[in-house]
Structure 1
Amino acid sequence: MASQPLKNSAPEECQDLRSVARLLLRAAHDHPDAGVRYVSGQAAEDSQRQTYPELLESALEFLAALRDRGLRPCDKVALLLDGQSEFLTVFWACVLGGFVPCPMVPVPGDPARWATQLAHVNQLLERPLLVTTEAMRAELPEVPGLAVAAVEELRDVAASSGAASSGAARRQQPEVHSAAPEDLALLVLTSGSTGNSKAVMLTHGNILASMAGKADKQRLTAADTTFNWISYDHVAALLEAHMLPLYVGAEQLHAEASVILEEPLRFLRIISRHQVTMSFTPNFLLGPLNSSAGEIAEEISAGGERLDLSALRHIVSGGEANVVATGEAFLENYAPYGLRETALWPAFGMTETCAGSIYNREFPATDAGQEFANLGTPVKALRIRVADDDNRALPPGEVGELQLSGPMITSGYYNDEEATQEAFTPDGWFRSGDLGRIDDGRLTLVGRSKDSVIVNGVNYFSHEIEAALEQLDDVAAGYVAAFPTRRPGSDTEQLVIAVSPGVADGDEPGLYRLISAVRSTVVMHWGFRPSLILPLPEDAFPKTSLGKTLRRRMRIRLESGGFDDVIAYVAELTTRQLGGHTPPRGETERELAEIYAEMFDTDPERISATASFFDLGGTSLDILRLRRHVTRRLGVADLPIITVLTAPSVRQLAARLADGGSPASGAYDPIVPLQTGGEKTPLFCVHPGVGEVLVFVNLAKYFVGDRPFYALRARGFNEGEKPFGSFEEMVACYVEAIRARQPHGPYAIAGYSYGGAVAFEIAKALEAAGERVDFVGSFNLPPHITYRMEELDFVDTAANLAFFLDLINKKQSIDLPDELRPLPKEEQLAHLLRIAPRNRLAELDLDLAKFSAWAELANGLTYLGRSYHPTGTTRSMTVFYAIPLRGTKEDWLENELRRWDEHTTEPNRYIDVPGEHYTLMGPQHVAALQAIVRKELDRALGDADRSRTDQAQAPRGQA
């Protein structure tokens, strides 16, 4: 269809809703005072607002900039934009121009997977234009043929175009593409982090039919105010929470997901402050809100701001099954603040159905005595049925696959005919993959035919989890199963992992190490821990004739008690490996045990006061969560991270809290024990150039029950500590500390980045003292570092520190030093903190004073490195190399790293590891790295390890 001018002064043309573009045109004309408010906090002043006419004008200016790049109707535009205002502006520019937008989110921490996903989308969408920010463009992996435009460039073009023509004239005669209902309006990517995403096709007719059905069901009007905190790549945020209020001319509020996830009570506080009438949230948020009901009551009784939920007509709750008891508790807990007894609407929707399409407006009246809420009845024009395996409709009350038909249902998947055919029955009904029944016209879901797990509203595919776990040592390939279960009354599904272990019979330390590795890998890849890990023999994995594991059958066996003996054995094994159970004593220890239990989803009675936080399953991310829990429940603010690292058990941490929560007093000790179990030779790892050891926490977790893992932390972090005055002083201090912990060799020493040079000097010193050093490792550092240290002045070092801490991105770390160098030092650091994410600063407990002290310490280490020139030799080195900060990996290896050959008397080993310099120990790569490192340690220390193990196992008096 051709682009035609549509005048805002001609409402009849806007009322003729043949295309999605006219939604915005109509809202701007009919509701000029309504608009979008972007909320960054719970207070009214923590927001910015854009009326619908302002959104339209901004979108039209960007449309001109996109057309200047040669885009024409039906061209595809991938949107990689994290700013809410930027996203909506570019999104509407695409719709107004007849381009087809496709929202995207990056794959964090894994350049290889991110590159695969980008390449897949680039091919699938036939080389779309990718619109992103300058900062995100700098982080994009290389993808041949990928066309990228920075939103800042488009804004500059839009601004110059606007200056060249009358703004009033542009408003009167916007050239908007006139699309037909059957034209493609939007592409939405399905989950597919391995690069195999499908693109759901939604036409203008699909979306407009959906809007009509939603508005009729929800009875929204221009007098309403809506609130959303789900990101726009999710179809519910874009259609349910943005287009629907636009459709009726309502005011709409949007907040970043982190605003709510960091503090769930903000969800209700924002609703109260802005008198929201309709909102949407996945079911999982209701659990934390129920847990916080007492907290908000205490705040109000102490004179805090009152909560007023009387304006809230309904909350649509979808994404996963709604537990009746959880929903009833939510309504009861917040009834004193005006929440209506019918305010919660369980709902069902998919990307393929234009989000919400079935709503239960009668909860909880129609759900008495049930575990899960029914999902109600479909919107106008949508038909639903449950069918058997032959796609024949089943009578009421019988369970079958939910199938749907109607004008809001997708026609299929873009450029994927096979997936499209699989998604529809021969008579044209869409197959949801969900199992359900229909009683009195109301839908109830009872499971899924697709192999996936929904945790906190997010869909995780079983095969992706299984593929990652099969890379671990001692996991039998083809014998890993990931499937869901739900405890009675639980707010969400839990993940169960079954593996067939490859450890020897009776090797309890090896089995416990495998269980810990499985748990850590899931946590670091997906951000949550499995509820159960089941080590099973291969014959416990039911298979099809083609070798596919029947996960549903394993779930049925689990929930019928068939694995109860395995669950009990794992619990007993864990208790034994953690040194038995020591009950907490005293109020502080009991409070901490409850915090640990809440974090690790277990009973407080199972938490031993002497078990390490990390042995229980804690990761580096959990340290930050622990600090928030301790602040909230015990009133201890600013608990230092090092206190958790050096006092990780309930008993140790309680003792530190009794002393005010500060690090242990007394002489400086650089050794931080991150993992103390195992009989093999300990590994000592030296800090990188920032001086801190948090980077080693996730790696150390894979050494549980294998060998102790000690990290060396620089001097100067704690109050009153004086930083090292020379490189030689640092090395001498570390050698003394290592020998105090392990008096004699053989030793295993390694260092990350800057720490590689320190590890080399430590090895030389130990060998000069007559000790054996069987392993010296360097993580991506050559012997000659002076040239790099001399390149870094204070602002470079501060920017690198900020990048290392995820306060800024890679591009900013490169560009900012030149911009900041003319400023005074304090202003340089203040600027870095001003542009850092607020939530990340809160996680790290960083303010200007603390960041300044850290930057000074890192700068001091850089200064010491400028005088370092490697001399002498050690026996041999193992060099783990990744993608360098600059240049190719091949040049880095041949021209820099191999110079270690000049400083050893025996051949060195050069081991390729995944990731980049700053990400090789990150969540996406650490599982692969640990297997490589542990194999190299076992190779180098085999004889020494066997000797130590034999001595540890010998009867007393014979060792």
Structure 2
Amino acid sequence: MTTPTHFNNINNLNDTFVAYPVEKALPFFINECAKKYPGKVAVKFNHSSFTYKELYESSNKLAKILIDNNIKTGDIVGLALDRSPEMIISLLAILKSGAAYIPLDPEYPKDRVEFMLEDSSAKILLTSKKYHSHFISNATEILIEDAFEKFTDYTAEEPTIEVKGKDLAYVLYTSGSTGKPKGVQIRHFNLVNFLLSMQKAPGMTAVDKILAVTTISFDIAGLELYLPLISGAEITLTDSNTAKDGRILFDIVKNDGITFMQATPYTWRMMLEAGWEKKLPLKILCGGEALPKDLVSKLTSRTAQLWNMYGPTETTIWSTIKHIESDEEITIGKPIANTQVYIVDENLNNLTDGSIGELIIGGDGVAAGYLNRAELSAERFIDDPFSATSGSKMYRTGDLGKYSENGDIICLGRMDHQVKVRGYRIELEEIEHALAKEPDVKQAVVIAREDTAGDPRLVGYVVLKEANENADFKTHINKWQQALLAVLPEYMVPDDFVLMDAIPITPNGKIDRKALPKPDYNVVARTGDYLAPRTEIEKQIAEVWQELMGIEKISVTDNFFELGGRSLVAVQIMARIEKLTGKRLPLATLFEHSTIEKLSIVLDADSKSITWDSLVPIKPKGSKMPIYIVHGAGLNVLLFNALAMNMDDEQPVYGLQARGLNGVDEPLDVMEDIAANYISEIIAQNPEGPYALAGYSLGGTIAYEMANQLMTMGKEVKMLAVFDTYAKQTDIFDPPVKRTFNRTRLFFMKLFNSFALLAEDPKRTFEYKNELIKRRIIRAFWKLRGKTEKQQGFFAYDNEIDEASAKAKRNYFQKPLNITVDLFRAKKRTFYMDDYEFMGWKKFALKGVNVHDIPGEHNTIFAPPNDKEFAVVLQQCLDRVSKQ
């Protein structure tokens, strides 16, 4: 097949050089504009306004006050003010003082704001009387009201300090539900290049009026506040409540002559629902997530111009732009000035043939990395192999993309939306893109579901352009499947489809994939008498269970696990209940309260009575010696439920979940401390022993240290079982030469092993390697960007705990113990180990290692049907040691 001509010229798309004064900082351009338009209104807010001259002079005076408070170039100032002209003056003043600012939305969680202040070592916190002493930090607090009262003591001329293009402008923390926020460091030249490019396209002039709706903690606010101020345009600034009301926003746009506005798809939908029908002389930018097809026709028919914007925070707001016309393919267009976008494979080969790869961005927008996160910066900000400039960096976005036929870039979404179905690796966005082209499809979302364990299925959720009650849904499905088969491999065609009135979205306007309902594969049969919900809380729980488990009627006495409940749906159920009731329950609550009736009693209790203990009673009743199983890296003790249910009726089973899952307790990062925490709860429940300990993966090492501490205390440890755990001694205490040699040797051994596995089982090896890469990218993504909403739900803090656990493992010096280890070894191997036979345990277990092979591979030993055989072998071992 002949390669299309446009693919031979892709590199021309990155010829984006445009000369600009790279040495100049942003205040230079804003000051020049203020001198050009002194009497023109710069900012309108409610019933007040500031001219360019007033903005210029006020920011100059406030900058001098900061300088008098020992602010120097390179210092960091936190800014926590409500949306107001004073907020804009403060931003400009900080930049003019030579400092960089951290935007702190006062509506954000208090502990998150305080973390940002501490992590950045902010020297000053500029805030208002409203928030006086609200945030605890080492920063010196300056109140904006007090500063304004001192303006008469200062002249209006610009500060004499010189701010350069290479100096830091701001540090913007990407908030997320896992791990702690990471501060992205943006320099002045990053910001200036972006703004000058935006000034040309999409374009802004002094006649424009922009409606600014975005919180300053979201990087796109930089366009709304600074682009007008270097162009002589007028800003209409909304307060935070107005920004959330589509009706008021539409009225402002319509009545105040707004010509320019930027927002997410969610905000545009709010305004459309407010009755927006007539065309307005409005240029609009849409970004933050994929531009839905159904919005294009609505927005293009109602506005002067629609621009689709794309770019991560790490490359300074927007990196590509596309003027969208009606009825054309939706792309993210081409790079802005002095920006390069490449689509690469895993080896950073430039994919210029239209293949799907990762979007990587280089050029003058690339940030200076993450504040105080050198290792993370090195992982995501890599050397630019395509640049002739020494030291150039490029940013790995973690987004998938490919080139369209006209050379534009199509963004296919996050790499963490990749799934595996029937052994094939699939990019869901590619299916969505194809399905959305069908003439009767208004919007489509595709996910992989595994409602039946071991049977993952692709499900398409479709909103029709026109509802037709007389249409046969099966006819629709057949037509869609045939159309998809014409452009996609068979394994990428969804098995099931669900018609939706609307695709659910999160409060910040992104698609809520977790809220997509289970298809009606068939009605699950149930046995026993049906007892209907009697109270309001029982009704709420029943509705959640029925929706997420796909069962039409659930009795309040039905057992969650007997109905086929698994950990994934348990997470969804408990998260939904939290949203409904405002109460967050530990996921392990389902072990003791596994019916609607029992769960409702817990929810009716006082929130203070809900505990997040590490010790979880999975199957607490029975006369035999209990076994205590420590979580693996995934933190989910519900994995052990199927194992417990397949063991003897008289066998008690307890799980140990990590500290910190509630988002309040600080996770532990020292192995000895983790073990001691678990031991304290075990002894409180079972003070005499004897003890049977077990751990899965990382949990095996924790269980080993627990055994060490219990034996030191004089307690009897009858059994130490490790579930597919490799005992690898840390090398941080080795001499550097030895450490380098061993790591190099291991690298090549893993490489050779990969070739051997590839020859033996190419399909599975390819899957495994792809899975490893995907996990690393997912982990990096959640570390860097995260979700914009507040952390909530279950395992929302798992990445933070994983980091702490990994640190504990790295620093743990494992000593040999006078003990026997029962090693439960997965039969299927997909990764290299120095010691396949004993998995490294022989040198640590001085009394020997008993090896028990169990079916499956590392991640599937607890999955049906492997769990049944595993349970039998484990029970036999427990019975044997208990008799000794």
Flag the structure with more relative contact order, 1 or 2, with Cα contacts below 8 A and sequence separation at least 6: 2
TM-score (norm 2): 0.48
Bigger fraction of residues in helix: 1
TM-score by length of 1: 0.44
